[in-house]
Amino acid sequence: MKNTTPAATTTVWLVEDHEDCRRMVARVINRANAMRCDHSFSTCEEALSALSSGAAPDVVLLDVGLPRMNGIQGIREIKARAPSTHVVMLTVFDDHEKVFNAICAGASGYLLKTADDQAIVNAIQEVLNGGAPMNPRVARMVLGMFTRLTEPAKRDYGLSARETQILELMSHGLIKKEIADRLGLSYHTVDNHLRSIYSKLHVHTRGGAVAKALTEKLL
């Protein structure tokens, strides 16, 4: 296990295909206390070759949009070769798909290239302390994505469009006659629809149907 105590020098690799950006970020890291960017690469392939022939770094700052092997693929390969190395994305991309795929692939953090010098240094320190550095916009995006993923799937009870419409009106407190008048249907037709709704939802009362619809977000 690598030593990540404050007294140790944190080794950082940078994978970025734009030379000016690569030089700038490397300079920021090398100016920081107890940090050293001793390798920078323009492609994932170069970084993976270096991993195969030497010691792994503590942290890799990795772009997403790289030539040949992209950053998302690169995360998986880096983690396969160096499981204890933290990978932090440093990229211009902040769309949902790339953020989600990067995190699923094993990224420990996700920063945008608009981050200032101190934010980059802080992110490296944070990830070594067990954190997951992200700017507020990306953090909100990630929270929203995983909230949606953990929501229970909406069960399909096979309600027809008309039955759903009637159930919606029931949830607003309308009785059979009012529903019939609102939809231009006969009282008998509405009653038949209600019987079908009860059967499909496996309930026996109006209250039970409305409660189930609201609890399971059927409306």
pLDDT of residue 5: 40
Flag whether 156 is in a domain. no
Instruction: Say whether both 14 and 101 belong to one domain.
Output: yes
5: in domain: no
Q: What is the mean pLDDT of the chain?
A: 87
- Residue 172 has a pLDDT of 87
Predicted confidence at residue 153, as pLDDT, reads 61
Does the pLDDT of residue 194 top 80, yes or no? yes
pLDDT recorded at residue 97: 79
Same domain, 36 and 139: yes
Instruction: State the pLDDT at residue 165.
Output: 94
Residues 168, 63 share a domain = no
To the nearest 10°, report the CA torsion of 160, 161, 166, 168.
Answer: 110
pLDDT of 118 higher than 70: yes
Q: Rounded to the nearest 5 degrees, what angle is found at the Cα of 33, between the Cα atoms of 26 and 20?
A: 15
In-domain check, residue 1 = no
- Quick check: 82 and 34 in contact, CB under 8 A? no
Same domain, 32 and 130: yes
The stretch 112-125 carries a mean pLDDT of: 92
Is 70 exceeded by the pLDDT of residue 152? no
Is residue 99 domain-shared with residue 176, that is, in the same domain? no
pLDDT category of residue 140 using cuts at 50, 70 and 90: confident
- In SS3 terms, the chain reads as CCCCCCCCCEEEEEECCCHHHHHHHHHHHHHCCCEEEEEEECCHHHHHHHHHHCCCCCEEEECCCCCCCCHHHHHHHHHHHCCCCEEEEEECCCCHHHHHHHHHHCCCEEEECCCCHHHHHHHHHHHHCCCCCECHHHHHHHHHHHHHHHCCCCCCCCCCHHHHHHHHHHHCCCCHHHHHHHHCCCHHHHHHHHHHHHHHHCCCCHHHHHHHHHHCCCC
Number of separate domains in the chain: 2
Return d(Cα 132, Cα 155) in angstroms, integer: 34
- Degrees (nearest 5) of the Cα angle 210, 211, 216? 105
Q: Which of 93 and 6 is assigned the larger pLDDT?
A: 93
Residue 155 resides in a domain: no
Angle (deg, nearest 10), helices 71-81 and 44-53: 10
Give the integer Cα–Cα distance in Å for 217 and 219. 5
Q: Where does a domain end: 104, 119, 150?
A: 150
In a domain, 4, yes or no: no
Residue 151 structure tokens: 């929501």
**CATH number of the domain to which 210 belongs:** 1.10.10.10
Q: 43 is written with which tokens?
A: 């492609």
Name the more confident of 191 and 150.
Answer: 191
Identify whether 186 is part of a domain: yes
Domain span at 189:
161-215
| Residue 22, pLDDT above cutoff 90 | yes
Span 38-84, pLDDT tens digits? 999 999 999 999 998 888 999 999 999 999 999 999 999 999 999 99
pLDDT, greater one: 8 or 36: 36
